[in-house]
């Protein structure tokens, strides 16, 4: 049992469904269990992978009502920056929900709507009920979004101490905190050009969420909380950053897939330019799998405000490989592909 001054006690190995998330301090016990969380290094030689063989990513084409309404009202395409402010507000709401309470409420609303005999009301209430159930399953039961066990498996083995970590398009900053727990004693710079990410998504990230990491003095396990990390949050466009090549890890999660092919090289370059020689680029993108396609369809109003692709690990790897990165480690976890790379 780990007693902390401000947080409820937690135990190594513990997992528990909280009202709005799952906390999970379980470690995989052996190689077989490890392989349940992450499938790594499926491609032996990236020079043999070609677009002709693997095809291009799947483009998500169902958009949120807010985006479509804005475009109808303004008679033009929603600007990308505005699309992110809409996305972040909409997505953040879901992380703040008391899910069991909301399931109960939406169930009541659905049965109430049946009494109205109005198909449109029933459809809305049923949609709300399905979405909260799906969210419960994906985020709280499966822990598919934060997925700490999968991410720990993906991030382990970096030859790095007290790293300076730059998180591009950081949103609430989850993965940089997980990395910081595994490689403690350094600092994190989070960057997002939507101020709401710093002021709400990161600011309201639960202080009692436990991150399983490493104890630098014993080499054993240690639990960290948000307040334990040294974090600064920069609200700016990635393209305006004045940092030099000064970071041990440059990280992005769910960024590359929001840019069409004509911009992929530029996005890869955003990561490379801030990297110290020998530093690591860590990137993840959502997987092109049937269940993810369904998720983005059902959650379109919550998630789809901007250009979005779903790609396979091979497609993601080829974007990085053909743009000059050396892929050190690649794998997929529940819903994301992940790659650890170095600049050539």
Ligand X SMILES: C[S@@+](CC[C@H](N)C(=O)[O-])C[C@H]1O[C@@H](n2cnc3c(N)ncnc32)[C@H](O)[C@@H]1O
Any contact of residue 57 with ligand X (CB under 6 A)?
Answer: no
Any contact of residue 169 with ligand X (CB under 6 A)?
Answer: yes
Residues forming beta bridges with residue 252, ordered by sequence position: 168, 283
Any contact of residue 84 with ligand X (CB under 6 A)?
Answer: yes
Which is nearest to 254 in space by CA: 324, 210, 197? 197
Any contact of residue 100 with ligand X (CB under 6 A)?
Answer: no
Window contacting ligand X (CB under 6 A); options: 9-17, 51-59, 126-134, 237-245: 237-245
DSSP string, 31-42: HHHHHHH-EE--
Residue 166 near residue 250, CB atoms below 8 Å: yes
Any contact of residue 88 with ligand X (CB under 6 A)?
Answer: yes
Q: What angle do CA 288, 296, 292 make, to 5 degrees?
A: 35
- Pick from 143, 147, 192, 314 the residue near ligand X by CB under 6 A: 192
DSSP string, 41-60: ---S-GGG--HHHH-PPEEP
Residue among 125 and 313 whose Cβ is closer to ligand X: 313
- Residue 233 host element (H or E): strand 231-234
Window contacting ligand X (CB under 6 A); options: 43-51, 96-104, 206-214, 232-240: 232-240
Site string for ligand X, 19-48 (x = CB under 6 A): ------------------------------
Provide the 8-state DSSP code for 227: G
In the bound state, the residue with its beta carbon closest to ligand X is: 169
Residue among 306 and 329 whose Cβ is closer to ligand X: 306
Q: How many residues bind ligand X (CB under 6 A)?
A: 16
Any contact of residue 246 with ligand X (CB under 6 A)?
Answer: no
Any contact of residue 127 with ligand X (CB under 6 A)?
Answer: no
Chain positions 263 to 302 lying near ligand X, rule: CB under 6 A, are none
Provide the 8-state DSSP code for 259: S
Provide the 8-state DSSP code for 225: -
Provide the 8-state DSSP code for 17: E
Any contact of residue 179 with ligand X (CB under 6 A)?
Answer: no
CA distances from 123 to 3, 12, 75, 117, 127 (A): 48, 44, 28, 11, 6
Window contacting ligand X (CB under 6 A); options: 5-13, 31-39, 116-124, 187-195: 187-195
Window contacting ligand X (CB under 6 A); options: 9-17, 134-142, 251-259, 275-283: 251-259
Distance CA 139, CA 331 (A): 21
Q: What angle do CA 4, 101, 25 make, to 5 degrees?
A: 35
Q: In the chain, count of helices (H) and strands (E)?
A: 13, 14
- Pick from 102, 194, 248, 314 the residue near ligand X by CB under 6 A: 194
- Pick from 254, 276, 301, 322 the residue near ligand X by CB under 6 A: 254
Residue among 190 and 327 whose Cβ is closer to ligand X: 190
Within a 13 Å sphere around the CA of 258, how many CA atoms are in the beta-carbon half?
A: 15
Polymer length in residues for the chain? 344
Q: What are the φ and ψ backbone dihedral angles of 342, each rounded to 5 degrees?
A: -130, 160
Any contact of residue 243 with ligand X (CB under 6 A)?
Answer: no
Window contacting ligand X (CB under 6 A); options: 67-75, 83-91, 123-131, 218-226: 83-91
Tell me the closest approach of the beta carbon of residue 284 to ligand X, in angstroms. 9
- The first and second tokens of residue 284, run together, are 């993840």
Window contacting ligand X (CB under 6 A); options: 118-126, 253-261, 316-324, 331-339: 253-261
Q: Which residues bind ligand X (CB under 6 A)?
A: 84, 88, 91, 169, 171, 191-194, 197, 237-239, 253-255
């Amino acid at each position: 049992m780990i007693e902390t001054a401000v947080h409820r006690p937690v135990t190594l190995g513990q997992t528990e469904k909280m009202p709005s998330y799952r906390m999970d301090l379980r470690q995989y016990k052996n190689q077989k269990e490890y392989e349940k969380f992450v499938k790594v290094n499926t491609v032996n030689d990236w020079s043999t992978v070609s677009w002709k063989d693997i095809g291009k990513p799947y483009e998500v084409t169902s958009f949120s009502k807010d985006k479509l309404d804005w475009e109808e009202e303004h008679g033009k395409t929603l600007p990308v920056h505005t699309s992110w402010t809409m996305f972040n507000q909409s997505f953040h709401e879901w992380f703040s929900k008391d899910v069991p309470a909301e399931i109960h409420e939406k169930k009541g609303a659905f049965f109430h709507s049946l009494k109205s005999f109005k198909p449109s009301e029933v459809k809305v209430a049923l949609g709300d009920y399905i979405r909260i159930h799906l969210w419960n399953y994906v985020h709280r039961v499966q822990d598919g979004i934060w997925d700490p066990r999968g991410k720990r498996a993906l991030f382990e083995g970096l030859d790095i101490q007290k790293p300076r970590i730059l998180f591009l398009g950081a949103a609430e900053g989850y993965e940089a905190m997980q990395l910081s727990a595994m490689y403690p004693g350094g600092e994190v710079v989070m960057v997002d050009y939507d101020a709401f990410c710093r002021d709400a998504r990161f600011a309201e990230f639960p202080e009692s969420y436990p991150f399983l990491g490493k104890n630098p003095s014993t080499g054993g396990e240690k639990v960290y909380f948000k307040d334990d990390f040294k974090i600064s949050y920069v609200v700016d466009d990635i393209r305006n950053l004045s940092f030099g090549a000064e970071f041990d890890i440059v990280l992005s999660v769910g960024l590359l897939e929001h840019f069409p092919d004509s911009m992929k090289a530029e996005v890869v370059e955003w990561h490379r330019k801030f990297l110290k020689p020998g530093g690591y680029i860590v990137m993840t993108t959502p997987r092109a799998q049937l269940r993810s396609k369904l998720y983005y369809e059902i959650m379109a109003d919550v998630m789809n405000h901007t250009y979005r692709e779903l790609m396979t690990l091979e497609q993601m790897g080829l974007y990085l490989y053909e743009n000059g990165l050396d892929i050190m480690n690649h794998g997929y976890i529940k819903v994301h592909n992940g790659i650890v790379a170095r600049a050539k």
